[in-house]
């Protein structure tokens, strides 16, 4: 997520327009403006590669075959916002051409914030805010806590098969049907994950649960298949460790490490 003022990368907020970055999220189909990230980070080299024998372990939806009478697989759009969604007018155009049976929308915003006619220009966002949203602090574990709440809520709908995490500054680069087909046709998650050569954020106290060799970095903005979304939502090992050790002197900026590291720890990535 974004922070006002100086960000860890030393890029000032005012320069954000210069740093329109294509995030690995869906790589070429959604763009997010993340002012504090540097461009060279986004290499598509480390996708999750699940052996086909393991793909259907937890979910029949990971590789999708359509049968008559079955509901369409849905893409869940999960918005992580500070307050309102300023690019709602872009998303309005995007969802206007979509079949409502093909997607769902969830928003995590400031607790108590209501998406209605007063706060958003599109009905698509009305009443989509999570009831149990939490106060999120930049660079704190509450950020990944909010991501997990979004995933947990979206997993309740068994027809959601792809889970797209978006910031308030993401916009789609293609129309709905293109993105829908692209995501549902792929049996893989899209997660930017790499080893940082200048790594300084790993806290050695995490070692019993998160070995240094599994520590990963990557963009916060991801698309997960259902099986991986379940891994994140059900995680009761790595998340508590981040909460405990990822602060003060060792603040690791959890959102830049959590999902990547968790998937590596649970051997969901070839590393």
Ligand X SMILES: *[C@@H]1O[C@H](CO)[C@@H](O)[C@H](O)[C@H]1NC(C)=O
Q: Give contact residues for ligand X (rule: CB under 6 A).
A: 66, 72-73, 97-99, 102, 114, 116-118, 174-178, 180
Cα–Cα dist 178/54, whole Å: 27
Q: Closest CB to ligand X among 14 and 177?
A: 177
CB of 75 to ligand X, least distance (A): 9
Q: Give the up-direction half-sphere exposure of residue 258: CA atoms within 13 A in the CB hemisphere.
A: 33
Which residue lies nearer to ligand X by CB, 113 or 194?
Answer: 113
Smallest gap from residue 191 Cβ to ligand X (A):
23
Q: Which is nearer to ligand X, 129 or 261 (CB)?
A: 129
Contact 130/163 with Cβ under 8 angstroms?
Answer: no
Q: Would you tell me the crossing angle of helices 258-265 and 141-155 to the nearest 10 degrees?
A: 70
Q: How does strand 103-108 pair with strand 30-33?
A: unpaired
Choose between 110 and 196: whose C-beta lies nearer to ligand X: 110
- Shortest Å, Cβ 126 to ligand X: 9
Residue 105 or residue 210: which is nearer to ligand X going by CB?
A: 105
CB 263 → ligand X: shortest distance, Å?
A: 26
In the chain, DSSP finds a helix count (H) and a strand count (E) of: 7, 7
Least Å distance, CB 104 to ligand X, is 13
Question: Which residues are CB-contacts of 71 (< 8 A; sequence separation ≥ 6)?
Answer: 101, 159
Start-to-end CA distance of the chain, whole Å, equals 26
């Amino acid at each position: 997520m974004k922070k006002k003022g100086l960000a860890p990368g030393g890029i000032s907020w005012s320069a954000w327009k210069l740093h329109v970055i294509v995030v690995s999220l869906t790589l070429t189909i959604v763009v997010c403006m993340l002012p504090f990230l540097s461009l060279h980070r986004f290499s598509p080299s480390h996708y999750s590669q699940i052996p086909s024998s393991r793909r259907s372990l937890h979910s029949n939806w990971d590789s999708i075959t359509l049968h008559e009478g079955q509901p369409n697989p849905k893409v869940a759009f999960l918005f992580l916002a500070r307050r309102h969604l300023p690019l709602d007018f872009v998303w309005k155009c995007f969802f206007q051409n979509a079949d409502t049976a093909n997607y769902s929308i969830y928003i995590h915003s400031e607790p108590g914030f209501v998406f209605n006619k007063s706060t958003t220009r599109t009905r698509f966002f009305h009443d989509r805010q999570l009831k149990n949203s939490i106060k999120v602090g930049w660079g704190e574990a509450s950020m990944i806590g909010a991501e997990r709440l979004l995933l947990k809520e979206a997993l309740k709908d068994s027809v959601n098969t792809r889970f797209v995490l978006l910031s308030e500054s993401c916009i789609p680069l293609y129309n709905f049907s293109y993105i829908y087909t692209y995501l549902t046709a792929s049996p893989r998650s899209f997660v930017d994950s790499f080893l940082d050569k200048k790594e300084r954020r790993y806290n050695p106290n995490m070692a019993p649960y998160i070995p240094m060799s599994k520590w990963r970095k990557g963009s916060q903005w991801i698309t997960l298949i259902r099986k991986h979304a379940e891994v994140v939502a059900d995680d009761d090992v790595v998340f508590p460790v981040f909460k405990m050790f990822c602060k003060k002197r060792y603040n690791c900026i959890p959102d830049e490490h959590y999902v990547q590291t968790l998937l590596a720890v649970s051997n969901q990535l070839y590393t």
